[in-house]
Amino acid sequence: MRRPFALLAAPAWLAVLTDAPSTYVVLGASAILTEEIAPVLGGIAVHENQLRLMPLVWAITLGGWVATALLYALGRSKWDWIRRRLPRWRAAGTVALRVVGAHPLKASFLVRFAFGLRIMLPVACGAARVPWYVYLPVSLLGSLAWTAVYIVLGIAAGEAAVQAIGLFGKYGKVVGIIAALVTALFVIRWQRKRAERKAARRAARRAGPL
């Protein structure tokens, strides 16, 4: 006989999950804050027959998707204001805009998978003017894929999933650090090339027509 879900090492409020609409609403609305914890623990609840699979999938998918859609709208309408109020975002935002401009479909799909960039990337998609009819359906598919991955993890791993969350958190930090380093290198390279182009133009002006 399996141990009751209430005995898992999880927050107390997750130990009393019931198959009620309010439960799915809370899990969906909290997904943007709790990140992987909501779908993984929701998967454990499905494993313990406390929640139903499809309502859980759609609740967390839509919860994360709505949050990223709001961030997209913020970037689309308030990017200049954000740059003024949050100067630390300027360099990373510039690079993110270039990446999104070059790969709008990939960026839109990966907004929920981007460890450490889950706020910046949807904002950049909005600031880069990715069309809403592209961003909204593609990001919805990405949110669905992300939700499915972590709910399956919860169902398959059962009680071990709670311990796995810590491991994913560590990898998330590593990925975030790598992304930051790559961004910094990209900025340095871009600034160097820009300086070289300016120097070449100045040299050409000095030389004058032959």
Residue ranges per structural domain of the chain: 11-202
Q: Are 108 and 138 in contact (CB under 8 A)?
A: yes
Residuewise pLDDT in 10s, the chain (210 residues): 344 433 344 545 455 567 788 889 888 888 888 788 888 888 888 887 888 999 999 999 999 999 999 999 998 888 777 777 776 766 667 777 777 877 888 889 988 887 767 788 888 898 888 999 999 999 999 999 999 999 988 888 665 655 555 555 555 555 555 555 565 556 556 666 766 676 666 666 665 554
Q: Furthest-apart CA pair in the chain: how many Å?
A: 90
Contacts 24+ apart (CB under 8 A), 132-138: 132/72, 134/104, 134/105, 134/108, 135/69, 135/72, 135/104, 135/108, 136/69, 138/105, 138/108, 138/109
- Which distant-in-sequence residues (6+ apart) come within 8 Å of 182 by Cβ? none
Decide: 79 and 109 in contact? Cβ < 8 Å.
no
111 within 8 A of 139, measured Cβ to Cβ = yes
Q: Which residues contact 168 (CB under 8 A, 6 or more apart)?
A: 36
- Give the Cβ contact number of residue 10 at 10 Å: 20
